[in-house]
Amino acid sequence: MREITLPVETAKIKINGMVFELHMSDLDIYNRAQEIHQKFQKYNERPTDSFPPDEVLADCNELAGFLDSMLGDGAVARISKGKPVRMAMLFRWIDVIAEDAASHYAELVEGEHD
């Protein structure tokens, strides 16, 4: 029987001094962040407090869930040191990571053409 071993890269990112393994590719992170912004465009149109609290809480949980799926279970709690995180801050975190992912992806693509 033939057998081969393929190299596998484990991408990591350091956030606030903590190292996280990325569970998504740069392109997936960026694309998913764009989808989230489209889905939650409603918060740009009206203040958060104009929505039912259970809807806002569910949306916050979805945002935190995206971060946890990207960085590993418990990532939001680790980054916030167990403190609650407002919706606006979750969006900001997603934006910062997505911008980094897009920049890193562009560097990789450019490097392939050199």
pLDDT in tens, 47-77: 888 999 999 999 999 999 999 999 999 999 9
Q: At what angle are helices 87-112 and 53-71 packed, to 10 degrees?
A: 30
pLDDT value at residue 111: 73
Residue 109 CB partners (closer than 8 Å, separation 6+):
none
% of the chain with per-residue pLDDT over 70: 97
Q: Which tokens go with 50?
A: 């104009």
pLDDT value at residue 110: 80
DSSP string of 14-49, one letter each residue: EETTEEEE-SS-HHHHHHHHHHHHHHTTHHHHS-GG
pLDDT value at residue 9: 86
- C-beta contacts of 76-85 below 8 A and 24+ residues apart: 78/18, 79/15, 79/16, 79/18, 85/60
Q: Which tokens go with 62?
A: 């979805």
Question: What value does the mean pLDDT take over residues 8-26?
Answer: 95
